[in-house]
Structure 1
């Protein structure tokens, strides 16, 4: 999992470098590709389970529970130290 976390962080850093008008917030990643940005980590129900969100500090969160039709139930910190 720690390799995945580092890959997600690198993906977000590259995206931020090319989209500097979007400061702070979270970069949203689905299946390895950035698909969006939000100014804050919001209701997981607007995202599908399995989406990752990477904040400016490099913290990574994953949308869990729920389903593709109704959205995820919650955001969970993906802690690379515990994997």
Structure 2
């Protein structure tokens, strides 16, 4: 398994906000499955940071394809990078 850090920038539009409950439910399911380590928005709600534990980047990209925010174009990927935590 590999850890990936994902930094998102939100568009601030009403469609993203309407999709937020479904997006958060999607994240809860990933957390329960052990594929999402942690996630949360920046305090000013301009974006978010997620940390995933998945088999490969392609698995993470598939997770993103199923995210309700993707369907409404509610974010831009700022950074998607494999991460090696030491602590």
Q: Comparing both structures, which one devotes a greater share of its residues to helix?
A: 2
TM-score (ref. length: structure 1): 0.32
Larger relative contact order (C-alpha < 8 A, sep ≥ 6)? 2
Q: Comparing both structures, which one devotes a greater share of its residues to strand?
A: 2
TM-score (ref. length: structure 2): 0.31
